């Protein structure tokens, strides 16, 4: 489990702990697919500064958690982010691999729920987003629980929220 980068803080509850790391900043290798509807320009232009984040999700309860294919869906946003959805990033597989911040907790071909997160076990997932120095990063993490067949069970899923500050 990679833990390099600056530890920004923890979001969680009595069942899961999500440790947030600021791994690096880097220029965007490509423009975002999302564009500003007013002028058609990419929300993230090629060369804009990105922050690479890593989330380490740990089961801190005494019971295993059966996760669905979405595992823990983390949405990040800045308080002044003008768009309805959370922060977007750019497709940057080489950057994310180099910084050890994979965008999926699964290896190719292993995404078959339920994914059992045993007590004390962790997985990591990464994200890149537009970088704003010393900005508050609001996080909402939906823990996607599945039944024994691997189907998501919304009645068992829950959300944890919190915030950290970027360097």
Does residue 147 lie in a domain region? yes
Note down the domain range covering 28: 6-161
Transcribe 65-131 into DSSP letters: EEEEEEEEEEEEE-TT--SSS-------HHHHHHTT--S-SS-TT---S-EEE-TT-EEEEEEEEE-
- Given a contact cutoff of 8 angstroms between Cβ atoms, the answer to whether 109 and 133 are in contact is no
Task: Tell me: pLDDT of 121 over 90.
Answer: yes
Number of domains comprising the chain: 1
Task: Tell me: pLDDT of 106 over 80.
Answer: no
Rounded CA gap, 3 and 7, in Å? 8
| pLDDT category of residue 108 using cuts at 50, 70 and 90 | low
Q: Looking at residue 33, what is its pLDDT? A: 95
Q: For 78-101, what is each residue's pLDDT tens digit?
A: 999 999 999 999 999 999 999 999
Does residue 166 lie in a domain region? no
The model's pTM is 0.92
Q: Looking at residue 114, what is its pLDDT? A: 87
Q: Looking at residue 109, what is its pLDDT? A: 62
């Amino acid at each position: 489990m990679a833990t390099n980068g600056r530890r920004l803080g923890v979001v969680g509850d009595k069942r899961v702990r999500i440790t947030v790391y600021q791994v690096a900043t880097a220029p965007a290798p490509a423009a975002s697919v999302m564009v500003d509807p007013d002028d058609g320009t990419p929300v993230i232009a090629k060369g804009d500064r990105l922050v690479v984040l890593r989330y380490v999700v740990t089961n801190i309860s005494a019971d295993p958690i059966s996760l669905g294919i979405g595992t823990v869906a983390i949405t990040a946003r800045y308080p002044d982010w003008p768009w309805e959805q959370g922060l977007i990033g750019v497709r940057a597989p080489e950057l994310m691999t180099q910084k050890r911040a994979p965008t999926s907790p699964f290896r190719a071909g292993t995404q078959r729920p339920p994914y059992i997160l045993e007590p004390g076990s962790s997985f990591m997932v990464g994200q890149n987003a537009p970088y704003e120095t010393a900005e508050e990063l609001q996080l909402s993490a939906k823990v996607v629980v599945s039944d024994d067949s691997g189907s998501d069970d919304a009645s068992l899923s829950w959300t944890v929220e919190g915030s950290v500050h970027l360097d």
